[in-house]
A and B are shown apart, each in its own frame.
Chain A
Amino acid sequence: MESLLELAWVVTLLPLLSAAAIAAFGKQLPGKGSELGIAALAITWLLSIGIAWQTFSAGTPEPFERAFEWSPLGGGFIFELGMLVDGLTAMMFLLVTTVSLMVHIYSREYMKGEPRFTYFYAMLSLFTFSMLLLVIANNTLLAVVGWELVGLCSFLLIGFYWEDKSNQDAANKAFLTTKFGDVGLIVGVIVLSAGMFGTGTSTPFNIQETNAAAMAGELSTGTIVLGMLLIFLGCVSKSGQMPLHVWLPDAMAGPTPVSALIHAATMVTAGIFLLARLFPVLAQSATVMAVIAIVGVITLFFGGLLALVQDDLKKVLAYSTVSQLGYMIAAIGVGGYTASIFHLFTHGFFKALLFLGAGSLIHAVHSNNMSDMGGMRKPMPHTFWTFIIGSLALAGFPLTAGFFSKDEILIAGDLWAGQGFMTGNLVYWVGLAAAFVTTFYMARACFLVFAGENRSHHAPHESGPQMVAPLMLLAVLSIASGYLLSPFSSQEFNFENWTATPFVEDATYPFIDAEASGGGVLAAGGQSIMAAADGEFTILHGVPTWHFDLLAIVLVVFAAAVFLAYRFYGKGLPERDPTLNMGAATTVLVNKYGFDAFGYRYIVVPVRDTLAKWATWSSNVVIDGMVAGAGRATKNAAFATYRVLDQRVIDGGVNGAAFSAAWWSDRLKRIQSGDVQRYAGALVAGTIVLVLAIAAVR
């Protein structure tokens, strides 16, 4: 049965081969290289399904690790090339290969006629390879390699239309912002590995060994806190957390399939993936978890607000990605390991669907702006219903994938709060509030795009089958994937059961007092925080149960948000809200006794116009300004250093030595008069002085 797992490396390597093949002779092929990429991806996709099947069918899988020495690093330490296949890896395999395959197929039509079509496909394949490398890595150093490579691919693809200065800037901003976070990641990885020196291992980067050492208490608190916080800094930048999210909306400058693959479904989740990989380590420290949860909560709320005021459809989706990534990060911070990666999994599908749908719309109207769309329901029926499904999933409408995964997060927060942690309450309540915001902006987007009159200057038409087919498949997954961890799933047929590993299951929180909290706590997922009263830890692989109270709240929130959005945007883009211009007689009724107006004036307007604008402003002016200011200050410092310190002071000292030598020699050379008799005179005088001197000494 191990045979398929042994082949896991093929999944990673095949896209690399296809990237090389596309780059080498893709241009000569009839499909300009796209068929190579699709073929390779199809094989890896099938393999991933096989691997997932095998891993999942084993229940909670023992991690499958294969590694061999790749290079010595000095001091007896070695760098391994190895793979670690467990439920988490298999899940990421499924997600990455599925979305990547869909994007590969979709792009054939979307990118048709682009001058750098072949290059685009080579980069897509290279990105897929890099992401899978990050996923399969059995040690943090190899993960860093994959991490940096996805960053490069992201940079190259954001700047795909590099003729425009704004796109170049966006690409540079993305690379540099994430590279800044990588400082944290790299130093964090180094700190953790240095902590491993004490255990006498020769592979200090090994993830499983690190997890084991952390749980056995062999890593000092300082190592864990410093190392994990630094690694978290890398995750903050890569996964678009505040305040380093600024690059993500700009990254929409890339082609839309790239946004779907890299900036929604896969690369931006790398940070969450890495935190999940090292979950047993970060679970050792209350500080680390609190920091992670708070950053996540701030991001999920304020990131969502930003989406309210966008006109660019892709930016709405980008900010919503920021917000959803915040949910995942927050879930990690409240011990919701399963909740987090489950949301990662479902979000990958429905967000990719939304982006690809947006791409289909943009393809039709040649504009990103929702003010240029409207009335798209009729001409583009397939895009319409798939987009609606994606939006419902994103908004967490009951029985879609987003509902199950987001509720997991809220429940995880609730349970964490039950252990007496404030962050748990934060995640629960702010998460609910943000669900309202999410629903509202997605409803707004849907109304603006599909309802009302066609405001575009083109005659929109439905996209071709190569674009619609991926939309349909992803739409199915946007609903179906949620049932892997729902009250409908069985004891074995259960996402939590598959993705937890013995490591995660054994992860304890040493900072929780087992007695005081009425028994110890184990959390592999939102559902399985279980404890035995006498401090004996057990884990129950439970099927989630219905939380009808939560379901009711969610439904109310959903209905309220959609209703509000419909009121303002249901008939297309409002000039001015017509409801406010009615006669005095109907005012009270139309205003529903003033509640609407109150809600509009004191909730919607402040939230949508003031608060969101303020958030936009803080994002664009303050934080972005700080980034730009840091850049400008660096540049000024650079010029000052170079001109004053380097050229004047340091080089001046060097030149000064040479010039003083020249000055003295200029004075001294005058002795060399060329007059023979002067020399003779000097000779005589010198002799006399010497004789006298010797005589005097004698």
Chain B
Amino acid sequence: MSLIGPLLLATFLFCVGVYGLIARRNAVLVLISVELMLVSVNINLVAFQNLLFPGAEAVHGQMFALFIIAVAAAEAGVGLAIIFNLFRNRATVNVDDVDLMRW
């Protein structure tokens, strides 16, 4: 089985995620970008599982993917809650405006 397809897809998604993470100003989109990066990792995990241990009893790759999906969901929940609170307090979701933690 060729790995090129899934890897290309994962790379593409990851790069989109990185770009979004660094470049977008909207906090929601930044969060989504993070999710994209997590998804690309999941694709890699599943793909390598199938390449290295085809038909094995222990499906570690898929297990990891499932964990990450669960954690990502929690993270999205917390993240959105923060953004929601941020919006309520500051009436903005622009990350450039949120730099209270600078020196």
**What residues make up the interface of A, taking CB atoms closer than 8 Å to B?**
669-670, 672-677, 680-681, 684
Given contact pairs A674-B99, A674-B101, A675-B99, enumerate 15 new A-B contacts (beta carbons under 8 Å): A672-B101, A672-B102, A673-B102, A674-B100, A674-B102, A674-B103, A676-B30, A676-B95, A677-B21, A677-B23, A677-B30, A677-B95, A680-B22, A681-B22, A684-B21
Interface residues on B, range: 10 to 19
Docked CA distance A669–B103 (Å): 6
Docked CA distance A672–B101 (Å): 8
A673 interface neighbour in B21, B22, B99, Cβ under 8 Å: B99
Q: Top 5 nearest A-B pairs by Cβ distance?
A: A674-B102, A674-B99, A669-B103, A674-B101, A672-B103
Which residues in B have their C-beta under 8 angstroms from that of A669?
Answer: 103
Docked CA distance A681–B30 (Å): 12
8 contacts between A and B (CB under 8 A): A673-B99, A674-B102, A674-B103, A675-B95, A675-B99, A677-B30, A680-B22, A684-B21
Which residues in B have their C-beta under 8 angstroms from that of A684?
Answer: 18, 21-22
The chain A residue with its CB closest to the CB of B33 is A680
Docked CA distance A626–B23 (Å): 83
Docked CA distance A593–B103 (Å): 107
The chain B residue with its CB closest to the CB of A669 is B103
B28-40: CB near A (< 8 Å → 1, else 0) gives 0010000000000
B42 CB → nearest A CB, Å: 18
Q: Give the interface centre of B22, B23, B30, B100 by most chain A CB atoms within 10 Å.
A: B22
Which residues in B have their C-beta under 8 angstroms from that of A672?
Answer: 101-103
Which residues in A have their C-beta under 8 angstroms from that of B57?
Answer: none
B:50-92 near A, CB below 8 Å: none
Docked CA distance A137–B73 (Å): 94
B69 CB → nearest A CB, Å: 22
Which residues in A have their C-beta under 8 angstroms from that of B96?
Answer: 675, 677
A677 CB → nearest B CB, Å: 5
Which residues in A have their C-beta under 8 angstroms from that of B101?
Answer: 672, 674
Asked if B98 lies at the interface with its beta carbon under 8 angstroms from chain A, I say: yes
B22 and A677 within 8 A (CB): yes
Which residues in A have their C-beta under 8 angstroms from that of B99?
Answer: 673-675
Which residues in B have their C-beta under 8 angstroms from that of A674?
Answer: 98-103
Docked CA distance A571–B72 (Å): 124
Docked CA distance A281–B79 (Å): 96
B8-19: CB near A (< 8 Å → 1, else 0) gives 000000000010
A357 CB → nearest B CB, Å: 86
Which residues in A have their C-beta under 8 angstroms from that of B95?
Answer: 675-677
B16 CB → nearest A CB, Å: 13
Which residues in A have their C-beta under 8 angstroms from that of B18?
Answer: 684
A667 CB → nearest B CB, Å: 11
A691 CB → nearest B CB, Å: 13
The chain B residue with its CB closest to the CB of A681 is B22
Which residues in A have their C-beta under 8 angstroms from that of B103?
Answer: 669-670, 672, 674
Which residues in B have their C-beta under 8 angstroms from that of A680?
Answer: 21-22
B87 CB → nearest A CB, Å: 16
The chain B residue with its CB closest to the CB of A676 is B95
The chain B residue with its CB closest to the CB of A687 is B18
Docked CA distance A676–B101 (Å): 9
Which residues in A have their C-beta under 8 angstroms from that of B98?
Answer: 674, 676
Docked CA distance A684–B96 (Å): 19
Docked CA distance A680–B18 (Å): 9
Q: Give the interface centre of A670, A676, A681, A684 by most chain B CB atoms within 10 Å.
A: A676
Which residues in B have their C-beta under 8 angstroms from that of A681?
Answer: 22
B13 CB → nearest A CB, Å: 15
Docked CA distance A676–B102 (Å): 10
Q: Give the interface centre of B18, B99, B103 by most chain A CB atoms within 10 Å.
A: B103
Docked CA distance A590–B65 (Å): 139
Docked CA distance A681–B18 (Å): 8
Docked CA distance A684–B23 (Å): 13
Docked CA distance A684–B21 (Å): 10
Docked CA distance A691–B36 (Å): 21
Docked CA distance A679–B35 (Å): 17
Docked CA distance A672–B99 (Å): 10
Docked CA distance A686–B88 (Å): 34
A606 CB → nearest B CB, Å: 87
Docked CA distance A497–B3 (Å): 126
Which residues in A have their C-beta under 8 angstroms from that of B23?
Answer: 677
B35 CB → nearest A CB, Å: 14
Docked CA distance A676–B21 (Å): 9
Which residues in A have their C-beta under 8 angstroms from that of B30?
Answer: 676-677
The chain A residue with its CB closest to the CB of B34 is A680
A607 CB → nearest B CB, Å: 86
Docked CA distance A672–B23 (Å): 19
The chain B residue with its CB closest to the CB of A685 is B22
The chain A residue with its CB closest to the CB of B99 is A674
The chain B residue with its CB closest to the CB of A668 is B103
A77 CB → nearest B CB, Å: 64
